[in-house]
Structure 1
Amino acid sequence: MEGKEEDVKLGANKFSERQPIGTSAQSDSKDYKEPPPAPFFEPGELSSWSFYRAGIAEFIATFLFLYISVLTVMGVVKSPTKCGTVGIQGIAWAFGGMIFALVYCTAGISVSFSANPLCFPFYLFKFAEYVYMVLVKTGGHINPAVTWGLLLARKLSVTRALFYMVMQCLGAICGAGVVKGFMGKNQFNTLGGGANVVAHGYTKGDGLGAEIIGTFVLVYTVFSATDAKRSARDSHVPILAPLPIGFAVFLVHLATIPITGTGINPARSLGAAIIYNKKHAWDDHWVFWVGPFIGATLAALYHVIVIRAIPFKSRS
């Protein structure tokens, strides 16, 4: 046995590891540099076409998001038997799948890919880095809570954040309006209009807590999936950032649809509430603004202070 132990010891030490297991997260990548914080106010943005192009992208993306998601909800509610519909799981997939697709599409706003097909693998491996750049600078939020979280983390200016939120809300209103136009006013109102309300059997406090935690999961995933340090450290891995974001939306919907119908997106809740416009929807509406903004705030603080410890790094 002693001989075998010696062999094992020799074999373990003969060849050193290029990267010890478990230390990747603690080591700084050579090609990584902390992005500088965005200015509080950037007047030059107002004269830039990319600024308005990103706002238009937010409008269109949120419009399509509401159209598909609310129409899916309407189809499930309309059917007399849930076995004949996609059910709660299908609703969750509609929300999560659309976020995945729209973030993926919006990520191409300001990225110029090489025409040389030999460069494709390089761009595939660097896709996470591109998505990070686009998400924090040119759109792809599709959610005022996500925009708020990134604003707190100094990833975009107040001007851009406010513009995004306005365009997101307008897009959501138009998306829900198109669904109502397709279904007709009477049928749309009878089926609830896809509006978020706290379900019977739950208190407003329950709904608020569900929205806070659900939005925390979403925004924390956004920060993690678009972290520039992770993109640099794991550049050899083709990470597709929209996938974990969409999957987080899907999972949160599975958990909270029975409680609040799942908001975690103030624009989505506002668009449906305005088009539906019934008293009981407005009674609970504050939950779907306060909850997501608290959840996004906690996620931003957790990522910046605990996970990345950026304030402590700046002091050293």
Structure 2
Amino acid sequence: MEGKEEDVHVGGHINPAVTFGLFLARKLSLTRAIFYMVMQCLGAICGAGVVKGYQTGLYESQGGGANVVAPGYTKGDGLGAEIVGTFVLVYTVFSATDAKRSARDSHVPILAPLPIGFAVFLVHLATIPITGTGINPARSLGAAIIYNKDHAWDDHWIFWVGPFIGAALAAMYHQIVIRAIPFKSRS
């Protein structure tokens, strides 16, 4: 039904930006989206705590895994990298899980995690030198909370604002441009 919200199960989101994009595309209710985001953040905090507990020396030497904009780059560079990287990830999630696409390409077996994982890999290759690759606000938050030193918080806003803008752009692009293309079945 057009315009009706539908809760879809796209597997483990793990990432508030993905959840936000799915919410904007009306594939998740507000209640479920908020619940997922809170749980994603709590999981990231617990995960960062476990890493610190098991690898204290390495953890401290690597800045607790906290995301920061690398020297030689501006905050704008970091924000842009996070926006573009998250756009690629969230758009790939939409494309890989789109029911319209599945119906059209039913003759080609596809596992959604494969293109999503490949997108994450490519985004990491491109953005690690700039921001350490955030694209997941929960992961960035977990590392910042457990490490809790000034540099972990200096650019932290970038790792929320960038991914949420990238997710919103991916949701708009998918809903307005891609979903608007007429679907033609082969008879």
Q: One fold, TM greater than 0.5?
A: yes
Letter in 1 for 2:25: A
Letter in 2 for 1:253: H
TM-score (norm 2): 0.92
Counterpart of 2:174 in structure 1 is: 303
Q: Give the Cα–Cα distance (whole angstroms) in 2 for the partners of residues 189 and 279 of structure 1.
A: 14
Size of the aligned set, in residue pairs, is: 183
1:149 aligns with 2:21: yes
Please, which of 258, 272, 277 is the counterpart of residue 129 of structure 2?
A: 258
Show structure 1 runs of 4+ deviating over 6 A.
none
Deviation at 1:189, TM superposition (A): 2.1
Q: Within 5 A, what are the aligned runs for 1:53-64?
A: none
1:163 aligns with 2:35: yes
1:173 aligns with 2:173: no
1:229 aligns with 2:100: yes
Counterpart of 1:37 in structure 2 is: 4
- Determine what percentage of the aligned residue pairs are the same residue: 83
Counterpart of 2:111 in structure 1 is: 240
- Secondary structure of 1:240's match? coil
Deviation at 1:190, TM superposition (A): 2.7
Counterpart of 1:284 in structure 2 is: 155
TM-score (norm 1): 0.55
1:201 aligns with 2:72: yes
Q: Give the Cα–Cα distance (whole angstroms) in 2 for the partners of residues 223 and 297 of structure 1.
A: 12
Deviations 1:190-244 (A, max 9, x none): 3211110000000101000000000000000000000001111111211111100
Letter in 1 for 2:20: W
Deviation at 1:299, TM superposition (A): 0.4
Counterpart of 2:91 in structure 1 is: 220
Q: Give the Cα–Cα distance (whole angstroms) in 2 for the partners of residues 235 and 35 of structure 1.
A: 23
- Secondary structure of 1:134's match? coil
Letter in 2 for 1:38: E
Letter in 2 for 1:208: L
Letter in 2 for 1:291: G
Counterpart of 2:9 in structure 1 is: 134
Structure 1 pair 166–299 and aligned structure 2 pair: CA distance change class (3 A): same
Letter in 2 for 1:134: H
Over the aligned positions, Cα root-mean-square deviation in angstroms equals 2.0
Deviation at 1:36, TM superposition (A): 6.2
Larger Rg: 1
Deviation at 1:274, TM superposition (A): 0.6
Deviation at 1:35, TM superposition (A): 7.4
Q: Which runs of 5 or more residues in structure 1 are unaligned? A: 1-33, 43-132
Q: Give the Cα–Cα distance (whole angstroms) in 1 for the partners of residues 20 and 165 of structure 2.
A: 10
Asked if 2 retains the 8 angstrom alpha-carbon contact of 1:37 and 1:155, the reply is: no
Deviation at 1:188, TM superposition (A): 2.2
- Secondary structure of 2:63's match? coil
